[in-house]
Amino acid sequence: MSAANGNGGPNPEKDLSASNLPGQRGDGGEEIRVQRGMFGADKGGDTSGYGGLVRSIRLPGPATRPYGGWFDEVADELEGALEEQGLVPENVIDRTVVDRGELTLHIEREYLTTVARTLRDDPALRFELCTGVSGVHYPGDKGRELHAVYHLRSITHNRLIRLEVSAPDADPHIPSLVAVYPTNDWHEREAYDFYGIVFDGHPALTRIMMPDDWQGFPQRKDYPLGGIPVEYKGAQIPAPDQRRSYS
């Protein structure tokens, strides 16, 4: 699984001279949260002295070339194939992140279908299996709140990459990949059901898990988990989303 475990990973020979090291991740990742204090508790007095601490939590930032191993091959092939179609790769691929032995391509949403079709059909890429879409809601990532994350597997070349597309909360539209990967039919319905991401071009975008008349999108961060306090051995245990959080 991990590209770093030697077996067909990015560094099979472990060439450690500085110029050949795989791309170090930068600090410029999107800010998803601002943490105040040290211990996450926001109720009651914090006497620790760390109460004024403010830290911004960022996701891993874009990587620089070389990415390492087959990551560069995939990036080169994809960029070449996009250029052949008359597209400028920099406009299509927002950023490339290499983190924890995984390659993530952040794609501008209007080019998602083109990129997916290229990744599927190009003989050098051949990502023939899509494992579906996973929605993620980052309320702190302003203007890019809703993310759709796709994992594409190439059985031919035995590779796995991740595509990430974002949409603002105000305009939650992302093109559907059902025409390229029919397996995404239910997955996109699920992401719509839970996150309200509208997949344009989906043949029948309806709720799949929740009842058809359900209001709201339950897995968004602003949607409460719900639950009631429970009495246990004489003490009131609050509902899970009311308990103290240490994040």
Rounded least distance, CB 109 to another protein, Å: 18
CB 57 within 8 A of CB 35: yes
The two structure tokens encoding residue 50: 């760390």
* Distance set, CA 107 to CA 11, 113, 116, 180, 192 (Å): 26, 10, 10, 16, 19
Q: Residue count of the chain, please give it.
A: 247
For residue 35, give the 3-state DSSP assignment.
strand
Tell me if 202 contacts another protein by CB under 8 A.
Answer: no
Tell me if 155 contacts another protein by CB under 8 A.
Answer: yes
Q: Which residues ranging from 111 to 150 are in contact with another protein (CB under 8 A)?
A: 128-132, 134-137, 149
Nearer to another protein, 128 or 169 (CB): 128
Task: Give the DSSP H or E segment for 56.
Answer: strand 54-58
Tell me if 102 contacts another protein by CB under 8 A.
Answer: yes
**Window contacting another protein (CB under 8 A); options: 13-21, 109-117, 178-186, 230-238:** 178-186
Tell me if 94 contacts another protein by CB under 8 A.
Answer: no
Q: Burial-class residue 246 by CB neighbours within 10 Å (0-12, 13-18, 19+).
A: exposed
Tell me if 218 contacts another protein by CB under 8 A.
Answer: yes
Tell me if 208 contacts another protein by CB under 8 A.
Answer: yes
The full DSSP string for 207-224 is -SSS-TT--S-TTSTTS-
Rounded least distance, CB 87 to another protein, Å: 25
Contacting residue, 20, 53, 80, 100, with another protein by CB under 8 A: 100
Nearest to 90 by CA among 68, 125, 113, 62: 62
Rounded least distance, CB 83 to another protein, Å: 27
Binding residues (CB under 8 A) for another protein: these are 1-2, 5, 7, 29, 32-33, 35, 40, 57-60, 99-102, 104, 128-132, 134-137, 149, 151, 153, 155, 158, 160, 162, 181-187, 190, 194, 207-211, 218-219, 225, 240-241, 243, 245-247
